[in-house]
């Protein structure tokens, strides 16, 4: 459940496990079920639509302004409204499972339902969510504190979260016949020894060395070239001609960013790319941008396209900082500017800045001057060379194999 960045890695992992002979069922949002279908995995519909949720006008306004408190309250209200349907679909699709694997968006619900069924649970995390001394909790700060203070931030968040989520947890536990819980989800999974796959690169979090085999850092779950072709098709010949007709462009990827005024965003990019003297390739994502830009112009807008192939023909990237998009732009060797909105996005922005392969700013602070100030240095200060070095490390990881290997080592038949 979630955006494509949440769903695609799960579909790739499902395909890998199915290819190893496991009997796999994949459940995805209505708008993303096609991911599993194209990869040949038995896929079911959760009958929920992430795009419909993320495109809510009020929610987008809160995200765009940086009003996270209002957005979180709205998110919790949304979870209350969909709870009966979500619970019913999860119970239905996990009824005969020996193991349930879920992303963090449904970790609360899936872990409770799995416990009630007597099955094993595996969590998938897209960024460091659990207590560690290397980095503070991502919702507390992007600045790294002392090891002691970093650890304290996780205790702080856990204490604040449990009163908020306890009603959700225990209402569901009562529904499935379990006693009320007094501990949060992370503490209960710690107690049960559940595997928690960390599907991002160790090279982006090199200081994070204290986690053992229960939380393996596998590397990103990138699709293979064959899978990429199935998911995105081939590069549009017209786009290919545009890419080859001039200098490598800067890629601007909106993804699920809350762009309230697409035309103003397009104008902003035209201004910045003009001042820098670079071409701009804009991925419209979920936003209503005009795709009819002049084929030979400095700026080109595209809809769906093969990210892995196209990014390798760019000179830098600007995007919202979702884990998957961050992995893709760094894997392509691109210095990257992250305009983080919420969740793990500001964390990844801070990591790229710390590694000298990018810069970051809050999406709410995005302006022509701010974007120019963030983008110009990464085009000139050696970030590209460092990004290429980092790309070589990411490309050697084999995250899908590592995740499936960890699953088979840990989960009991």
pLDDT at 50 over 70: no
Residue 346's pLDDT is 92
Report the chain's mean pLDDT, rounded to a whole number: 89
pLDDT tier at 97, thresholds 50, 70, 90: very high
Q: Nearest to residue 5, comparing CAs of 305, 358, 321?
A: 321
Residue 152's pLDDT is 97
pLDDT tier at 239, thresholds 50, 70, 90: confident
pLDDT tier at 374, thresholds 50, 70, 90: very high
pLDDT at 256 over 90: no
Residue 174's pLDDT is 96
pLDDT at 193 over 90: yes
Least confident of 180-184, 290-294, 409-413: 290-294
* Mean local confidence (pLDDT), 165-177: 93
234-395 topology per CATH: Rossmann fold (3.40.50)
Residue 406's pLDDT is 97
Least confident of 71-85, 208-222, 282-296, 308-322: 282-296
Residue 59's pLDDT is 63
pLDDT in tens, 376-401: 999 988 999 999 999 999 999 999 99
- DSSP helix/strand/coil, 319: strand
* Mean local confidence (pLDDT), 341-364: 92
Q: Nearest to residue 312, comparing CAs of 228, 370, 371?
A: 228
User: What whole-number distance in Å separates Cα of residue 218 and Cα of residue 406?
Assistant: 8
pLDDT tier at 51, thresholds 50, 70, 90: low
Residue 205 DSSP symbol: S
Dihedral sign of CA atoms 185, 75, 63, 157 in order: negative
User: What whole-number distance in Å separates Cα of residue 125 and Cα of residue 101?
Assistant: 11
Highest average pLDDT, of 230-239, 264-273, 278-287, comes from 264-273
* Per-domain residue ranges of the chain: 4-223+397-410, 234-395
Least confident of 18-27, 249-258, 355-364: 249-258
pLDDT at 290 over 60: no
Place of tokens 């009630």: 116
pLDDT at 106 over 80: yes
pLDDT in tens, 114-166: 999 999 999 999 999 999 999 999 989 989 999 999 999 999 999 998 998 99
Residue 53's pLDDT is 61
Q: In the structure encoding, which two tokens stand for residue 362, read together? A: 């809050």
* Distances in whole angstroms, Cα of residue 255 to Cα of each of 241, 284, 303, 325: 24, 7, 10, 9
pLDDT at 235 over 80: no
pLDDT tier at 260, thresholds 50, 70, 90: low
Strands (DSSP E) found in 8-81: 26-28, 43-45
- DSSP helix/strand/coil, 402: helix
Residue 288's pLDDT is 55
User: Which residues contact residue 51 at a Cβ distance below 8 angstroms, ignoring those fewer than 6 apart?
Assistant: 3, 29, 31, 286
Proportion of the chain above pLDDT 70, given as a percent: 90
Angle, CA 105 vertex, CA 99 and CA 109 arms, to 5°: 55
Proportion of the chain above pLDDT 90, given as a percent: 66
Residue 135's pLDDT is 96
pLDDT at 262 over 90: no
Q: Nearest to residue 12, comparing CAs of 400, 339, 278?
A: 400
User: What whole-number distance in Å separates Cα of residue 72 and Cα of residue 329?
Assistant: 28
pLDDT at 371 over 80: yes
What class is the 4-223+397-410 domain?
A: alpha beta
pLDDT tier at 366, thresholds 50, 70, 90: confident
| Longest CA–CA separation in the chain, Å | 65
Residue 49's pLDDT is 79
Residue 229's pLDDT is 84
pLDDT in tens, 72-87: 777 778 888 888 998 9
**Are residues 329 and 390 in contact, defined by beta-carbon separation less than 8 angstroms?**
no
pLDDT in tens, 7-18: 999 999 999 999
Judge whether 4-223+397-410 and 234-395 match in fold.
yes
pTM score, whole prediction: 0.92
């Amino acid at each position: 459940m979630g955006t494509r960045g949440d769903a695609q890695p799960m579909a790739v992992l499902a395909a890998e496990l199915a290819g190893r002979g496991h009997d796999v069922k994949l459940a995805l949002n209505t708008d993303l079920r096609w991911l599993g279908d194209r990869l040949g995995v038995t896929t079911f519909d959760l009958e929920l639509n992430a795009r419909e949720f993320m495109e809510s006008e009020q929610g987008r306004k809160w995200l765009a302004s940086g009003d996270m408190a209002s957005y979180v309250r709205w998110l919790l209200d949304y979870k209350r409204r969909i709870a009966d349907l979500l619970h019913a679909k999860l119970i239905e699709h996990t009824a005969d499972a020996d193991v349930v694997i879920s992303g963090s968006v449904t970790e609360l619900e899936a872990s409770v339902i799995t416990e009630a069924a007597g099955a094993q649970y595996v969590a998938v995390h897209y960024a460091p969510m659990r207590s560690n001394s290397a980095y503070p909790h991502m919702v507390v700060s992007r600045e790294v504190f002392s090891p002691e203070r970093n650890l304290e931030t996780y205790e702080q968040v856990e204490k604040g979260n449990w009163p908020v989520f306890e009603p959700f947890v225990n209402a569901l536990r009562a529904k499935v016949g379990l006693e009320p819980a007094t501990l949060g989800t992370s503490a209960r999974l710690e107690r049960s020894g559940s595997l928690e796959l960390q599907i991002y690169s160790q090279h982006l979090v090199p200081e994070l060395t204290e986690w053992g085999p229960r939380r393996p850092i596998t590397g990103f779950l990138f699709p293979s070239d064959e899978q990429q072709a199935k998911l995105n098709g081939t590069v549009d010949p017209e786009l290919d001609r545009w890419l080859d007709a001039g200098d490598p462009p800067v890629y601007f990827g909106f993804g699920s960013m809350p762009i309230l005024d697409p035309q103003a965003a397009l104008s902003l990019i035209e201004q910045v790319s003009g001042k820098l003297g670079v071409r701009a390739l804009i991925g419209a994502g979920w936003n209503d941008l005009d795709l009819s830009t002049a084929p030979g112009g400095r700026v080109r807008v595209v809809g769906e396209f093969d990210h892995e192939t196209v990014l390798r023909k760019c000179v830098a990237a600007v995007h919202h900082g979702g884990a998957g998009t961050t992995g893709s732009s760094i894997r392509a060797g691109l210095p990257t500017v992250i305009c983080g909105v919420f969740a793990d996005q500001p964390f990844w922005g801070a990591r790229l800045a710390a590694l000298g392969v990018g810069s970051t700013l809050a999406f709410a602070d995005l302006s022509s001057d701010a974007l120019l100030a963030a983008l110009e240095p990464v085009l000139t200060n050696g970030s590209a060379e460092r990004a290429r070095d980092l790309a070589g490390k990411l490309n050697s990881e084999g995250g899908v194999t590592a995740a499936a290997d960890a699953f088979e080592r840990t989960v009991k038949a």
